[in-house]
Structures are given as C-alpha cells and as structure tokens.
Structure 1
Amino acid sequence: MNIPAAVQLGMANTTRQHFSDVFWDFSTHLQELKEAERLQQIKVGVSAQLVFAMRATFSLSDNHLTMLMNASLATLKRRLHQKKMVDSVASERLDRIAIVCLQAKSVFESREAATRWMSVPNQSLGYSIPLILCSTGLGAAQVRRVLHALEWGGAA
C-alpha cells in the first residue's frame, strides 16, 4: 500500500502543523482507496508515524493515545523508532478516526474547525470527546450521526 511521501519521511524536528498535514493527507488519501485496499492496509498495518501525527493533530494525552490505539506508549514509541507498522487493531482504529474526521471536515468546512470539534466533549454525545468515541465502531457511528444531524440541521 502506498503511504503518502510525507508520512514516510522522518518526523524529528517537525512542527505541529506538519504533523497535522500528515494526518489530514492520510485521511484524504483514504477516500481514494477502495474498501479492499483499505482492508489490506489495515492488515499490513500503518506507520507508527501516523499515530504520532494524529496525536499531535489532536493534542492527545498519553492516556488517550494508548486507549485509542489499544497499545502501550512504550510499544508505540518503539514502533516509531524502529520505523515499524502498528498492528491491525491500531491500524483499523486510525482508519476509522480518519474517515470520521473527514466527515467532520466536510461539515465544518475546515481542518481546524473539525479538529476542534473532534477534540472537545460534546453534549449530544453525553459529554464524551468525539475522537475518543471513535475507538469503537459503535462510538464512531454515534459521532457520525451527530455530524449528519449538524450537516442537515436536525436534532442530534
């Protein structure tokens, strides 16, 4: 699976904006893939660099990052330093998060607004953080429902 060139580069000494660009480029790239290609990418795993790009994009704490990726911080850092892929569980979660974030970007018409909305507790979601809910398929479905309601002016 082709990973965007920016993701393949080492990420030392990069800015939060660069990390955000990497995350959003990955998200946009997913739209171009067929489901079979996305499934193959999940099986093979995605770069640990993408996990840390997502972390920087949403200013995630260690606790939130490890919960979202179902992996310890030590494991994630080791995979990053060894330039290895994360496992299929973390890859699937990152894929799910990226797709939901694209929907948020479509609704709010900017990366920045989508990032803010995905990062703060939301009353319509029982004061849960939308990004954190995306750790499960059911939680992601709730977030998508609220986004759909916002897009069409209905009640969430």
Structure 2
Amino acid sequence: MIVAMTMTTTSTDTEAFWDIVLGHQQLSERERIQRIERGIDATLVGAISRSLQLTKQETADMANTRPATLARLERDGGRLNSGGSERIDRLLVVAQHAFEVLETRDAAIKWLSSSNLSLGGESPTSHCRTELGGRQVRRLLNAIEWGAQA
C-alpha cells in the first residue's frame, strides 16, 4: 500500500515523471532491453518516487535495492541493477497505459498511487514489483478501458 510522504509533490516532480514516461515510450524494445542491461540511472527514481508519493522503503523495493544503497546510487549518479531497472521499466509502461486509459496525468498518478481492492489492497505501483503483478495491473487497466469498474 502506498503511504503519502510528508513532502508534497510539486508540478516540477510531476512534469519530470511524465517526461520520463514519454521518453521511455519512444524507445524500441531493443533500446529498452539495452537500458535495462546497462542499468537505469538512479536519479530518475527520485522523480518517480516524488511524483507517486512513495516512501523511501517503497521506492527502494521498487528499485530492488535497500534505501541506503538507492540513496548512494542517486547521490553518486549510479545505475540500478538489471532487476531494479526492469521493475522501473515495467512501472513506466504501466504509467503510460494508465495515462492513455484515464486520459489525464493527475488521474493516472492518483490511480497508480491508490490502494486497489482488485489488487488485494495494494496500489498498482506496488503491484508492479513483479512481472505477474504488472500483467494484473495491465489487465485491470484494460477492463477499465472497456467499461468495467475497478
């Protein structure tokens, strides 16, 4: 479940998040694979975390690392390992899908960050930690797109 951080999300955080999502959307699958193998720049994780109002622990879980390691990687300009990079890649794909279905950035962020009964009370963001969870989130978005309540 996503717990709101005490710090508020700024429009700059949200703009940075959507810039990341839209830039990611333009990559070919081969480029995405190369990016995952090379490791996603850890500094991108900060904008994602702030925009989705993730706690430090939730952010580290999404990046497949510990909070202290993630903080060091962000500070030193490091890269996530391939497992963490793949999780972030999955989340960016789902975020783009949420925007397409829900039609506004604010609605997509709110949906991604909110507890969802169809996902066992987890947020879609948290559910994307695994490939199977990401598939469930995409199916849920497809159901919403075709008129089901979720």
Alignment partner of 2:109 out of 91, 111, 115: 115
Q: Which has the higher contact order (CA 8 A, sep 6+)?
A: 2
Give distance in 2, aligned partners of 1:153 and 1:21.
29
**TM superposition score normalised by structure 1:** 0.86
TM-score (norm 2): 0.89
Secondary structure of the structure 2 residue equivalent to 1:127: coil
Residues 1:37 and 2:34 aligned together: no
Aligned residue number for residue 127 of structure 1: 121
Stretches of 4+ aligned residues off by more than 6 angstroms = none
Assess if the C-alpha contact under 8 Å between 2:58 and 2:126 holds in 1. Answer: yes
Shift of 1:87: 1.4
**Correspondence 1:99 to 2:93:** yes
Tell me which residue corresponds to 2:14: 20
Q: Indicate if the aligned counterparts of 2:57 and 2:66 stay in contact, CA closer than 8 A.
A: no
**CA RMSD for the aligned pairs?**
1.4
Secondary structure of the corresponding residue to residue 65 of structure 1: helix
User: In the TM superposition, what is the alpha-carbon distance from 1:46 to its structure 2 partner?
Assistant: 1.4
Q: Say if 2:136 is the partner of 1:148.
A: no
**Structure 2 residue 40 is matched with structure 1 residue 46:** yes
Greater Cα offset, 16-25 or 60-69: 16-25
Q: CA deviation at 1:138?
A: 0.3
The alignment-based identity, stated in percent, is 39
Q: Secondary structure at the match of 1:128?
A: coil
Query: Structure 2: any 5+ residue segments left out of the alignment?
Result: 1-8
